Amino acid sequence: MNKALSSADLSAYWMPYTANRNFKANPRMLVSAEGMYYRDDANNQILDGTAGLWCVPLGHAQPKIVAAVQKAVATLDYAPSFQLGHPSAFELAERLKQYTGGRFSQVFYTGSGSEAVDTALKIALAYHRVRGDATRTRLIGRERGYHGVGFGGMSVGGIGSNRKTFHSAMLPGVDHLPHTHNLEKNAFTKGEPEYGTHLADELERLVTLHDASNIAAVIVEPVAGSTGVLIPPKGYLQRLRELCTKHGILLIFDEVITGFGRLGTPFASDYFGVEPDLFTTAKGLTNGVVPMGAVFVKPHIHDAFMHGADGIELLHGYTYSGHPLACAAGLASLDIFEQEGILEHAASVTNYFQDAAHALRGLPHVIDIRSIGMIAGIELASRPGQPGARAYEAFRRAFDDGILIRVTGDIIALSPPLIIEKKHIDDLFGKLAAILKTLA
Ligand code: PLP
């Protein structure tokens, strides 16, 4: 570790989603980043197999983004967004609207993915109320869903370990659809699996139980990322859309991970050809450079609020909604997406990437490999009585060998920057294969 920091110097920072004592006994310290690589404090290069936390699709230290943020901070460092505006927030919203092909007409800014989720849930509740449908308050998430760490996102989320401690503090009136992960039926599938479309029909069961007139919204990740790369069965999202439309329930896609090119299209809704009423984004929106989230809404959602007495139509917002630095990073990111053929490049390496992942089949402990777009999940058998231990060891060894992988439970999730080239893919999977061959 860097000599400038002793282990005592590490104690004040309570790290998020981290085994703090374990980390501080054996720190992994990143000090710089460029393109496909991080560099640690011993000057080792580490290939970024995860785009940070799924949030750097364009690679690190993109000169156009760096320049745009530098210019923005020197011009307008901060501007309140309540009853005041600044040009780049409007410009970015218009550009984002165009990036959806104009199908989503307004954008509400937040500071993170968690805030975007809570904002989307609040908009859904307020939408029904403003239309005189105030009994529609029930929210439906899905088992194994991850929607961030706010009380709303946690409540609709479906990861037991995240929920356990806060069990008594969940939002009331929340139900969950079953998850769609089925290794017996779908192991080693490339793209959308065949089995499980019928699981969307579980929504009918919840409608029968509660009555549609009490249900506000369904929220799902089109592809669940944080919970270990769960790819929707063929036709599943279409079916959810049909049922939501039939029952007047809003469909929210959480595109915090899938937004901005992860599946090779601007958004997952483009990939699957299924349109939600609202969707959340964050991460790739600014290439991870400045924190920002955004909720995109269809015209009927926004229009419903623009009636009645003059005044604030939605009593909601954040100090950092539409932060000028985030807007500058967002605009520069969109420029790069649109001018530098990022999605075209990603398309040219997607098969190679997915094939490299599936080539790990047959290595010790590998019980499933699944892939879609520039995402691959490699599921390992758990060590008896030690869930997560095997993949965590793989993560530590990978870091020492110069590749950054992400693990959740015993699932390795790979989601590299979209600028990745074949030589990086060879390096990433070559090193991972060597680790898997010798992992106890
Ligand atoms: N929603 C999804 C689908 C996510 O994957 C995440 C984070 O990984 C979030 C929400 C929360 O985003 P944030 O960590 O920016 O609050």
Average pLDDT, the chain: 97
Residue with CA nearest ligand 1 atom 12? 113
**Whether residue 358 is found in the same domain as residue 309:** no
Under the banding of pLDDT at 50, 70 and 90, the label for residue 3 is low
Residue with CA nearest ligand 1 atom 1? 147
Give the CATH number for residue 302: 3.40.640.10
Structure tokens of 406? 């992400």
**Whether residue 250 is found in the same domain as residue 310:** yes
Distance 294 CA to ligand 1 centre (A): 12
Q: pLDDT at position 308, please?
A: 83
Q: pLDDT at position 316, please?
A: 98
Residue 196: which of 148, 142, 274, 273 has the closest Cα? 142
Residue 379: which of 194, 178, 228, 225 has the closest Cα? 228
Mean pLDDT in residue range 140-144: 98
The string over 258-271, giving b where at least 16 C-beta atoms fall within 10 Å of a residue's C-beta and e elsewhere, is: bbbbbbbbbbbbbb
Residue 126 counted as domain residue:
yes
Question: Contact at 8 Å (CB) between 175 and 140?
Answer: yes
Structure tokens of 67? 């320049």
Residue 6 has pLDDT above 80, yes or no: no
Residue 206: which of 146, 242, 247, 170 has the closest Cα? 247
**Whether residue 362 is found in the same domain as residue 278:** no
Q: Which atom of ligand 1 lies nearest, measured to the CA of 283?
A: 15
Residue 120 counted as domain residue:
yes
* Residue of 146, 155, 162, 231 to mutate, ligand 1, most atoms within 8 A of C-beta: 146
Q: How far apart are CA 323 and CA 77, in angstroms?
A: 8
**Whether residue 183 is found in the same domain as residue 205:** yes
**Whether residue 95 is found in the same domain as residue 48:** no
Domain that holds residue 161: 76-339
Residue with CA nearest ligand 1 atom 8? 226
Residue with CA nearest ligand 1 atom 13? 113
**Whether residue 27 is found in the same domain as residue 129:** no
Structure tokens of 19? 């085994």
**Whether residue 150 is found in the same domain as residue 219:** yes
Under the banding of pLDDT at 50, 70 and 90, the label for residue 4 is low
Mean pLDDT in residue range 282-286: 98
Condensed to tens digits (0 to 9), the pLDDT of residues 227-251 reads: 999 999 999 999 999 999 999 999 9
* Residue of 256, 285, 286, 320 to mutate, ligand 1, most atoms within 8 A of C-beta: 256
Domain boundary among 289, 318, 339: 339
Give the CATH number for residue 53: 3.90.1150.10
Q: Which atom of ligand 1 lies nearest, measured to the CA of 150?
A: 16
pTM of the complete model: 0.97
Q: Strand 106-110 to strand 411-414: parallel, antiparallel, or no bridges (unpaired)?
A: unpaired
Task: Write out residues with Cβ below 6 Å of ligand 1.
Answer: 112-114, 117, 146-148, 221, 225-226, 254, 256-257, 282
Dihedrals φ, ψ of 412, to 5°? -95, 125
**Whether residue 346 is found in the same domain as residue 232:** no
Q: Which atom of ligand 1 lies nearest, measured to the CA of 148?
A: 11
Residue 116 has pLDDT above 90, yes or no: yes
Residue 28 counted as domain residue:
yes
Residue with CA nearest ligand 1 atom 9? 148
* Residue of 147, 252, 318 to mutate, ligand 1, most atoms within 8 A of C-beta: 147
Instruction: Measure the CA angle with vertex 296, ends 93 and 132; round to 5°.
Output: 120
Distance 274 CA to ligand 1 centre (A): 21
Distance 98 CA to ligand 1 centre (A): 24
Under the banding of pLDDT at 50, 70 and 90, the label for residue 205 is very high
**Whether residue 108 is found in the same domain as residue 235:** yes
Domain boundary among 312, 339, 366: 339
* Residue of 56, 267, 283 to mutate, ligand 1, most atoms within 8 A of C-beta: 283
